[in-house]
Amino acid sequence: MKNSILFFAVLVLALSSCAQGSSQNGKQNSKQKVGGSCEGCEAIYENPMPFTDLGHVITLPGYNNPGPKLEISGIVYQADGKTPAKDVVIYIYHTDPKGRYPTKGDEKGWGRRHGYLRGWMKTNGNGEYKFYTIRPASYPNSDIPQHIHAIIKEDDKNEYYIDDFEFADDPFISKEKSSRKPAGGSGVLKVEYKNGMQSAKRNIILGLNVQDYPTSKTGNKIESGLAIGSNCPAYDPVHLSGADINKRACPMCKYGYGQGVMVWFNHANLDRMNVFVKGLEKEMIARGEKNFRVFFMYMNPFYKTLSREETKIVQGKIKDWCEQQQLNKVAITWVPSPVDEETSALFEINPEAENTVLVYKKRKVAEKWVNVDYSEASLKEIMSVF
């Protein structure tokens, strides 16, 4: 009898320990099911240490192996695209410089398929993450782009895939736009060379384009624009008003050292913006052009139908409107289309959004809004950032 009681006690303790271990690595907290099917995603629980002990900076095994050294960092944001998300677990794995998932022979579970070039990290209080590894290669005898797989685990949701990390300088990256929107935001990285290694940044927005992800309490908010903290890239619009009128000039190259507002809009009725644009003109005058700049990007909504001559006519009408609003400081610029790869696409503007407002400070996105109503209240909210 005593032996039976002892066996039962040991069994209960063992089951309790298993449950605790699962809870430490998040399995028991997965209340909401998102992301659809996810083969191999359970590998996120194969980390030998509890999630609570993970750091936000890791170096993957094999970093000292031959191959280009790579540093990738970024910020994970909550679904609003603004608030840093802490304690988000990220699991990554990739091929070696020969395009294979290398193993050492003693792997278990998904390690037998994912190989040993894998790692786990958890965002810090600022949503930051960083990892060091060697750059992967494409699969042998294929034209599949180089990539790093990534799986996300939030505390109250199951694990799910986001788009792979890929590389803009990879010759196998398709130049064609896919109809599928990237989960977590674009994973195509612009690679720079710093301190003898390749370096890239990727910010991630939780739930963005993720199947079955719950919408916020304020409704199904459309996402558009670079994530907060992102660097604003160079672009070259035609200026129809302001200091660079009748020229092509890069706003960030010339004025990105300071701060200002960029309004990307995708609608033909300019009169909706009268109060809004006049208010920003007054702000530029009051603050001074060296301290504050404003750029409106008219993303031609008729790009599929306008001829070259018709484009000139529309640009002329916009200039007339600028004169009517007495815009001498605010720059109204012309962008070929809401999906133009050299302008709006660089800023990850959603063509379904009527407008995307970005505040920049020293060339970094400091705040953003989507589909503002151009009211005085909206203007006041935007200017409260400065």
Domains in the chain, please, with CATH?
A: 29-205 (2.60.130.10), 238-383 (3.40.30.10)
pLDDT at residue 349 in the model: 94
pLDDT at residue 301 in the model: 87
Q: Is the pLDDT of residue 27 over 70?
A: no
Which of the four pLDDT bands, split at 50, 70 and 90, describes residue 230? confident
Q: Is the pLDDT of residue 161 over 70?
A: yes
Lookup: tokens for 253? 């190259």
Stated length of the chain: 386
pLDDT at residue 221 in the model: 64
What residues form DSSP beta bridges with 297?
264, 333
What residues form DSSP beta bridges with 358?
262, 368
More confident call, 234 vs 303: 234
Of 3-7, 77-81, 155-159, 363-367, the range with the lowest mean pLDDT is 3-7
Which of the four pLDDT bands, split at 50, 70 and 90, describes residue 175? low
- Are β-strands 197-201 and 160-167 bridged in parallel, bridged antiparallel, or unpaired? unpaired
pLDDT at residue 195 in the model: 86
Which of these, 264, 269, 270, lies nearest to 345 by C-alpha position? Answer: 264
Which of the four pLDDT bands, split at 50, 70 and 90, describes residue 305? confident
| Secondary structure class of 385 (helix, strand, coil) | coil
pLDDT at residue 179 in the model: 58
Give the mean pLDDT of 339-350: 93
Dihedral sign of CA atoms 322, 332, 380, 221 in order: positive
Of 20-24, 97-101, 114-118, the range with the lowest mean pLDDT is 20-24
Which of the four pLDDT bands, split at 50, 70 and 90, describes residue 32? low
Contacts of residue 72, defined as CB under 8 A and 6 or more positions apart, other chains included, come to 130, 131, 133, 148, 165, 189, 199, 200, 201, 202
Mean pLDDT, rounded, of the chain: 88
Give the mean pLDDT of 242-257: 95
Give the mean pLDDT of 163-186: 83
Quote the percentage of the chain above a pLDDT of 70: 88
**Contact (Cβ atoms closer than 8 angstroms) between residue 188 and residue 168:** yes
Give the mean pLDDT of 226-234: 89
Q: Is the pLDDT of residue 215 over 80?
A: no
Give the mean pLDDT of 345-372: 93
Phi, psi for 288 (deg, rounded to 5): 95, 140
Which of the four pLDDT bands, split at 50, 70 and 90, describes residue 31? low
Of 82-96, 300-314, 315-329, the range with the lowest mean pLDDT is 300-314
Q: Is the pLDDT of residue 218 over 60?
A: no
More confident call, 110 vs 175: 110
pLDDT at residue 10 in the model: 37
pLDDT at residue 214 in the model: 82
More confident call, 208 vs 90: 90
3-state helix, strand, coil in the chain (%, to 5): 25, 25, 50
pLDDT at residue 82 in the model: 81
Q: Is the pLDDT of residue 264 over 50?
A: yes
In this predicted model, what pLDDT tens digit does every residue of 122-159 receive, in sequence order?
999 999 999 999 999 999 999 999 999 999 999 989 99
Q: Is the pLDDT of residue 9 over 70?
A: no
Rounded to an integer, what distance in angstroms lies between the CA atom of residue 170 and that of residue 66? 19
The DSSP-derived string for 204-254 is EETTTT-TTPPPBTTB-PPP-SPPTTPBPPP--PEESSSTTTTSB--HHHH
In this predicted model, what pLDDT tens digit does every residue of 61-85 receive, in sequence order?
999 999 999 999 999 999 888 889 9
Q: Is the pLDDT of residue 220 over 80?
A: no
pLDDT at residue 177 in the model: 53
Rounded to an integer, what distance in angstroms lies between the CA atom of residue 301 and that of residue 267? 6
